[in-house]
Structure 1
Amino acid sequence: MEETQENPLEFNSRIDLKNLQEAVEKIKAELGKVIVGQHDMLEMLIISILTDGHSLIEGVPGVAKTLTAKLLAKTLAVDFSRIQFTPDLMPSDILGTSIFNVKTSEFEFKQGPVFSNIVLIDEINRAPAKTQAALFEIMEERQVTMDGTEYKMQPPFLVFATQNPVEQEGTYALPEAQLDRFLFKINVPYPSLEEEIHILENEHNRKDAFVLDSVTQVLNAKQIAEYQHTIKQIIIESNLLKYIAAIVDNTRTNANLFLGASPRASLAIMNASKALAAMNGRDFVTPDDIKKIAPSVLRHRIMLTPEREMEGITADKVVQQIIETIEIPR
């Protein structure tokens, strides 16, 4: 009897996930040299890389949003650029502009800072609608059209954007169409008391050492592409696809919501669930993967009715209610 119950959770994986798992653990270890806690944020950002999706990181100033994104980019052997969004920023400041070359008597396109692999946009909600609109094409189609010419981005191409939820002066609400292009909206909480003490100890012991120098590269562009391909092979059963569709469909008929999620949300939950399963060494998705992923995928894609907003109900609470309402596949 004991022999049959020994290691009941063991199974033979049909997809080799060992290298992917080791790479994820190495990235977490490198970031752990500097970042204390924030495990959910780290996990979601790694999933963003594995699923080729952009992430919006929201939190009060000082909770290491920008630092985490910069450190994560440092663990990847790819190009990185950082753009500080301001109210006077113009689309050409991001995408680039055509400059007249006197020698050739022709206009030449000079690429802007968005032409990189990992693009960190700091305080994305500080730029006006015209500048935000400049990101629509590049985030969805991975290309920039300038003067009738298409300029393709080199893979991987990911946007990590940060925003402050509490400081309203000089900020602009992001358009719904732009929010829908983000795979995740990651909420970053304050650290616990123990974590804050650990942060102080780390900073004290670091002395004059530069923070970014303590992180080494783990993955290159070729490996990232291989792991992104591996994620697509993860198995998800048809009853789980129906489960995802039911959750998203509920957002469109829910009495608490004025705006529901689009089919892009369903695809995001499916792909991110596959990545989470692979990171945990499984070649198949479980309902728990979907339940864990759904809030980060849906919270920025739904809009509460004015009545519910006045009552103080949050998008996360509605998503949780929806997840509890939908029957879990067996």
Structure 2
Amino acid sequence: MDRRQLLAWLAGTAVAMGLPATGQAQAFPAQAVRLVVPQAGGTGNDVLARALADKLARAWHQSVVVENKPGANGALAISYVRGQPADGYTLFFAGVSNLSFNPFLYPKLPYSPARDLAGVAMLANSPFVFVAAPSLKAETFQDFVRIARARPGEISYASGGIGNSTHLAMELVAERTGVQMQHVPFNGAGGATSLMTGQTPVMMNVVAGVHPMIVSKKLLPLAVTGDKRLAALPTVPTFKELGYDVQVPGWYAIVARAGTPASVIRKINADINQVLDDAEFRDKLDSQFLDAIKGPPSEVERYMKRDADTWGPIIKRLNISL
């Protein structure tokens, strides 16, 4: 048996025994994985990303390192991910704004979600709550609408920045109720803080971002998104109950660079879905008022397209751009 025949026999034997043959790719992951987060450390997104990274590291017996790269509503982080090999070792912790809103907000966006990124796994969705400062003297959402209509353009609202979900959510509220307000963008938690000081009396935010202030009665919750009331805020009506069509997506997903092998994506997807069944991780989601979303990689593209189709026309109609 010559050398070439010997190598062929060894490879065939390895396959028959279920062992990796010479030259075949090692099982994923064979080295540390990076999870890129487009927000600063300590934010809600960062906390969730680190909880996920910890669970995956235990499952994979490899380090999963969270790297924070804030700026340009995720564009800087995505540019970084696009510059890495398409091998699954650099993942992006995406939000709906990065994948569905940005193409309509930025005239010269340096990436295309559909072209440059590949869906890996959905994670969770957050409901939004409309809150008001006690100084506004609005005990109900109907009170707010009455006050705002009586003072067109006088009432300001806070957001996490132009084009942020909190901004678009309030613009949708204004359109649906027929009120005029002034937008005051903030970075980080500044928006919620400004409500307590009375600078900007109303805001839409994810529940986790304002729940402590609701509990301490520094902010009043007047309405929530979704089809049913929240267990954490059982006395607060939904917009749907009040007769307003205000549906705001607040989901998170994991994506990779386009071209990542399908086998690697399927592996990561399966492992993330297992994490979503983990009791400790579920408790982490509950503590942030998040609902888990399980599904195949194709769910990321479905959610992305659904909200791009819904919000693209809204963003254009409201003439919001960055």
Relative to the length of structure 1, the TM-score reads 0.24
State the structure with more CA Rg.
2
Relative to the length of structure 2, the TM-score reads 0.24
